[in-house]
């Protein structure tokens, strides 16, 4: 179970990475067009950038950022202050770790629940991105899925991951 969940978190992280590379390509194209435009301006040639580029980056990064959360959890990457508990007895460490994992799962589910409401509201409001005019609500989906997976990863660590216990 733990291994499968970790693998899924890895896949989410990779998808987030793909989104980052798409942003890199789109930005590089847009900036390339900008530089060409500068170079060719004296000869009267206009090179147009990608309209709505900033909207695109904003929508795309929202997916990538949240898709990283489960993998960060799977790698125990959400920072914590280690100093004071480092020398505590093993049983104390384990109890604390399990408590925080349950709490993390609860927070993740809380966020998922409210994001689902946010998606529904954004859809019924018909909110769109300014220049692109794309509807906003589909961009809530990666985040919601990521919050749910984050909760599952945290719970699975109680059983399958003794790294901090």
Partner 1 sequence: QDVTLIMHHFLPPVANAHKVMLEPWAQTIEAESDGRIDIEIYPAMSMGGKPSELYGQVRDGTADIVWTLLGYTPGVFPRTEVFELPRVHKGSARDTTIALNASLDLLAEDFKDIHVLFLHANDGNLIHSASTPITTFEDVAGMKLRTPGRSGAWTIEAMGAEPVSLPVPAVPESMAKGVIDGALTTYEIVPALKLQELEKYTAELPNGDRFGTAVFMVAMNQDAYDALPDDLKAVIDANSTVNVAAEIGQMWEDFEVEGIAALDAAGVTRTVFSAEEGAKFDAANDTVVTRWIDEVSSKGIDGAALVDAARAAVAKAEAQ
Partner 2 sequence: MLDPITIGVVGLVVLFALLMLRMPVGIAMILVGVGGTYALSLSVPYVRFVPYIRQFKSLLWENVANYDLSVVPLFVLMGYIAAEARLSSDLFKGLEALLSRLRGGVAMAAIAACGGFGAVCGSSLATAATMGKVALPELKKLGYADRLSAGALAAGGTLGILIPPSVALVIYAIIVEGSILKMFQAAVLPGLLAVLSFILVVAIQVRINPSLAPEPRPMPRDERNIALKRLFPVIAIFGAIILGLGFGLFTPTPAASIGVFMIAAYGFVLRALTGEGLNLKGLRRAVQATAITSGMIYLILFGAEVLKGFFTRSGLPQALSDWAATSGLDPMLVLVIMLIAFVILGCFMESLAMILVVVPFFWPTLIALNGGEYVSAADAAFGMDIEDLKIWFGILALIVVELGLITPPVGLNVFIISSLAKDTPMSTVFRGVMPFLGSEVIRVALIILIPALTLTIPRLIGG
Residues of this chain that interact with partner 2 (CB under 8 A) are 10, 13-14, 16-17, 20-21, 23-25, 27-28, 30-31, 34, 54, 57-59, 61-62, 64-73, 75, 77-85, 96-97, 100, 103-104, 107, 110-111, 114-115, 117-118, 121-122, 139-140, 143
Which 3 state secondary structure label does DSSP give 47? coil
- By CB under 8 A, is residue 77 in contact with partner 1? no
Work out the angle at residue 156's Cα, subtended by the Cα atoms of residues 152 and 162, and round it to the nearest 5 degrees: 145
Residue 37 CB, nearest approach to partner 2 (Å): 13
Contact 5, 74 (CB under 8 A): yes
Q: What Å distances lie between residue 24 and 62, 71, 126, CA to CA?
A: 15, 21, 29
Which option in partner 1, partner 2, none does residue 91 bind, with CB closer than 5 to 8 A by kind? none
Residue 55 burial (CB < 10 Å; 0-12/13-18/19+)? middle
Residue 46 CB, nearest approach to partner 1 (Å): 4
Which option in partner 2, partner 1, none does residue 135 bind, with CB closer than 5 to 8 A by kind? partner 1
Which option in partner 2, partner 1, none does residue 133 bind, with CB closer than 5 to 8 A by kind? partner 1
Selection from 74, 2, 61, 3 nearest residue 27 by Cα:
61
């Amino acid at each position: 179970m733990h291994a499968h969940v970790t693998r899924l978190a890895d896949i989410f992280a990779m998808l987030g990475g793909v989104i980052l590379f798409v942003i890199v390509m789109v930005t590089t194209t847009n900036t390339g067009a900008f530089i060409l435009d500068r170079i060719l301006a004296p000869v009267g040639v206009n090179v147009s950038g990608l309209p709505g580029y900033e909207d695109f980056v904003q929508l795309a990064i929202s997916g990538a950022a949240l898709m990283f959360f489960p993998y960060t959890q799977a790698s125990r990457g959400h920072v914590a202050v280690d100093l004071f508990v480092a020398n505590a007895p093993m049983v104390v460490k384990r109890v604390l770790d399990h408590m925080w994992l349950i709490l993390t799962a609860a927070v993740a589910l809380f966020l998922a629940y409210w994001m689902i409401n946010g998606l529904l509201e954004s859809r019924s409001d018909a909110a769109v991105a300014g220049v692109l005019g794309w509807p906003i609500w589909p961009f809530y989906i990666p985040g919601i899925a990521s919050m749910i997976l984050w909760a599952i990863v945290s719970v699975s660590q109680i059983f399958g991951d003794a790294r901090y216990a």
